[in-house]
């Protein structure tokens, strides 16, 4: 059958357009390709996406000091070049005060034998919100057993009286014999290699000012540490948040904050603040509950926050996820102010008609989930975040009833270590100036720091069971010498075939196709699945071998598709190296 010339020209234009689209969607296989989303997947036959839970190692930093009577929470953890660990964290203690709604460290002094607020506040007290937050420092040889060295820098309670205001610990005495006094906050902007300038590796906030630094300031041994800081020329403040990462794709600094923009919506959301010069900030809401999340009154799901960090050319998000119980709202007095009115003390109005909306509906549990962004945190793929990555404890008094905040991973050999805040009770159920009604009557909820570990980059896998399945990747250009898999095939096996990606001529209708699943017709000699040495290993970077010495050097510059045959195995990612 003769094909008319006009139809032939149309087909050629269609093929050219499709081929151009395929090239535009090529993967950068020099980075690990994760399966948290479908970015690298053209087709997967019978494969399951599996979220893998890190191993819970339990509490590693307990609330065991008088200045930690209300708990501890992680801020920044790292492993030094010599293998030792350092931890910067918040120490929190409760303080009774009939005048102040919330007594924080900068508003509290020790005078006349008691801890007092400098500026009285006439609003009614909420005893569970009376606390002081101070920055603390700890060290460890193994990341599990931690020491709290005496820094001698800041006043803190010498003891705690649990009898005077049961079940709250009233602070007793004052001393500088403690590990408090860290004079700055830290963000590692170089995590994942996203900041090329080594002098801007760390974002340092101290004394209300913003700086960059090549190293973590040694405030303990170096009295001149401030002189080594580089002024940022702006501010890291993003409406209550912090600087999270440098977005190389869009050329801007980014901070992610919960509900930082005043609004009158019924749920929590995550806002993305971005600035190219650290002076002018732009904000947008980027992560919200959606129609696939449950929204029953007793189970209203919402994002609580995101710890975001660059990794392998993308932004990974440790998503703090809140299961709000709105059948027990906070209630409280009616506020007659308009949204955003500074005189109200809140950017949101309070009315009797809306007792169950954010921010007053605060009772519930919290877990951690995993998500991914490929556009600098503007959009987030939630395929893997529909379930817990780190689940919360099931019992009311589980030490991890709330898993509510993590540090970015600390690399330890072939593992990623995450330090998390865990709390032994539900999230707060009353707000400022509201009569206490549903706290635990026999104890004080307290936070501790727990450790979770997993094999490096093993957040999510594609799993094949006892039936042979195949993963077909999207096309990419060969730029490396070896193909590596992050894989566990100790129960089964994995084999890889490599096919050249180009238009395929079908026989019957003389039409062209660029569908990746047809590319197996272009399998490259020496790189068939039969040529592949079967992978039966458990490795975070297993090098795929082909028989007869075939090397990927021969494929440099070619656009290819992988056919990954899997049997009873988990595949976490692949890359070229």
Domain ranges of the chain: 5-52+461-576
Region 247-261: what's the mean pLDDT?
A: 88
CB atoms within 10 A of CB 37: 19
**Confidence at residue 329, expressed as pLDDT on a 0 to 100 scale:** 62
**Confidence at residue 238, expressed as pLDDT on a 0 to 100 scale:** 78
Residue 64 and residue 46: Cα distance in Å, rounded? 50
**Confidence at residue 342, expressed as pLDDT on a 0 to 100 scale:** 43
Region 504-517: what's the mean pLDDT?
A: 63
Region 201-215: what's the mean pLDDT?
A: 95
**Confidence at residue 5, expressed as pLDDT on a 0 to 100 scale:** 41
Would you give the distance in Å from CA 11 to the centre of its chain? 46
Region 216-245: what's the mean pLDDT?
A: 91
**Confidence at residue 151, expressed as pLDDT on a 0 to 100 scale:** 97
**Confidence at residue 260, expressed as pLDDT on a 0 to 100 scale:** 65
- Report angle CA 407, 61, 455 to the nearest 5 degrees: 45
**Confidence at residue 105, expressed as pLDDT on a 0 to 100 scale:** 39
- N- to C-terminal Cα separation, the chain: 48
**Confidence at residue 520, expressed as pLDDT on a 0 to 100 scale:** 78
**Confidence at residue 196, expressed as pLDDT on a 0 to 100 scale:** 82
Among the listed residues 322, 326, 290, the one whose alpha carbon sits nearest the alpha carbon of residue 305:
322
Tokens of 24: 């535009």
Residue-averaged pLDDT of the chain? 85
**Confidence at residue 195, expressed as pLDDT on a 0 to 100 scale:** 85
Region 222-227: what's the mean pLDDT?
A: 96
Tokens of 459: 């957040």
Residue 495 scores a pLDDT above 70: yes
Residue 108 scores a pLDDT above 90: no
Contact residues for 81 (Cβ-Cβ < 8 A; gap 6+): none
**Confidence at residue 186, expressed as pLDDT on a 0 to 100 scale:** 95
Concatenated DSSP letters for 12-55?
HHHHHHHHHHHHHT-B-TTS-EESSSSTTEEEESS-EEEEPPPE
**Confidence at residue 346, expressed as pLDDT on a 0 to 100 scale:** 44
CB atoms within 10 A of CB 552: 20
- Report angle CA 69, 91, 396 to the nearest 5 degrees: 55
Contact residues for 520 (Cβ-Cβ < 8 A; gap 6+): 497, 499, 563
Q: For residue range 319-369, what is the model confidence (pLDDT) as tens digits?
A: 999 999 888 765 444 444 444 444 444 444 444 455 566 666 788 999 999
Among the listed residues 371, 373, 368, the one whose alpha carbon sits nearest the alpha carbon of residue 383:
371
Q: Which fold has domain 5-52+461-576?
A: Jelly Rolls (2.60.120)
**Confidence at residue 444, expressed as pLDDT on a 0 to 100 scale:** 83
Residue 329 and residue 231: Cα distance in Å, rounded? 45
**Confidence at residue 362, expressed as pLDDT on a 0 to 100 scale:** 80
Residue 25 scores a pLDDT above 60: no
Residue 241 scores a pLDDT above 80: no
């Amino acid at each position: 059958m003769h094909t008319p010339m006009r139809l032939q020209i149309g087909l050629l234009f269609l093929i050219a357009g499709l081929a151009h689209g395929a090239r535009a969607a090529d993967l950068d296989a020099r980075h690990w390709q994760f399966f948290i989303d479908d970015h690298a997947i053209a087709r997967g036959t019978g494969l399951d996406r599996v979220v893998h839970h890190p191993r819970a190692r339990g509490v590693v930093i307990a609330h065991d000091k008088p200045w930690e009577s209300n708990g501890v929470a992680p801020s920044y953890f790292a492993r030094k070049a010599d293998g030792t660990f350092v931890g910067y964290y918040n120490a929190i203690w409760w303080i009774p005060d009939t005048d102040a709604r919330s007594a924080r460290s900068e508003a509290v002094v020790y005078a006349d034998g008691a801890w007092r607020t400098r500026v009285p506040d006439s609003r009614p007290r909420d005893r569970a919100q009376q606390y002081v937050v101070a920055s603390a420092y700890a060290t460890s040889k193994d990341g599990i057993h931690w020491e709290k060295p005496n820094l001698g820098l800041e006043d803190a309670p010498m003891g705690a009286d649990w009898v005077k205001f049961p079940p709250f610990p009233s602070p007793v005495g004052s001393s500088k014999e403690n590990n408090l006094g860290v004079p700055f906050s830290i963000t590692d902007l170089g995590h994942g290699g996203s900041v090329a300038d080594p002098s801007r590796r760390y974002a340092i906030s101290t004394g209300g000012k913003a700086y960059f630094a090549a190293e973590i300031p040694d405030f303990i041994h170096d009295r001149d540490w401030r002189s080594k800081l580089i002024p940022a020329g702006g501010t890291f403040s993003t409406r209550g948040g912090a600087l999270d990462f440098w977005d190389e794709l869009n050329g801007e600094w980014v901070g992610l904050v919960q509900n930082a923009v005043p609004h009158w919506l019924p749920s929590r959301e995550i806002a993305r603040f971005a600035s190219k010069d650290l002076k002018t900030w732009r904000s947008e809401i980027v992560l919200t509950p959606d129609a696939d999340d449950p929204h029953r009154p007793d189970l209203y799901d919402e994002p609580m926050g995101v710890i975001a960090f660059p990794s392998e050319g993308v932004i990974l998000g440790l998503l703090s996820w809140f299961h709000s119980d709105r059948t027990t709202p906070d209630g409280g007095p009616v506020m007659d102010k308009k949204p955003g009115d500074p005189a109200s003390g809140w950017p949101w109005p309070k009315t009797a008609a809306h007792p169950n909306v954010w921010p007053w509906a605060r009772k519930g549990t919290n877990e951690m989930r995993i998500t991914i962004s490929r556009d600098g945190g503007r959009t987030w793929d939630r395929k893997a975040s529909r379930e817990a990555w780190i689940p919360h404890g099931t019992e009311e008094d589980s030490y991890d009833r709330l898993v509510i905040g993590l540090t970015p991973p600390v690399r330890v050999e072939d593992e990623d270590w995450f330090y998390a805040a865990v709390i032994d009770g539900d999230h707060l159920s009353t707000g400022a100036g509201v009569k206490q009604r549903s706290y635990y009557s026999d104890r004080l909820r307290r936070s501790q720091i727990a450790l979770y570990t997993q094999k490096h980059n093993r957040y999510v896998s594609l799993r094949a069971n006892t039936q042979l399945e195949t993963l077909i990747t999207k096309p990419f250009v060969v730029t490396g010498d070896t193909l590596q898999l992050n894989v566990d095939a100790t129960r089964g096996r994995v084999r890889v075939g490599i096919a050249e990606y180009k238009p395929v001529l079908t026989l019957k209708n003389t039409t062209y196709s660029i569908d990746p699943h047809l590319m197996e017709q272009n399998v490259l000699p020496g790189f068939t699945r039969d040529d592949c040495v079967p992978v039966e290993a458990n490795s975070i970077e297993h090098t795929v071998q082909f028989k007869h010495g075939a090397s990927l050097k021969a494929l440099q510059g070619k656009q290819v598709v992988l056919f990954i045959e899997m049997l009873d195995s988990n595949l976490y990612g692949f890359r070229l190296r």
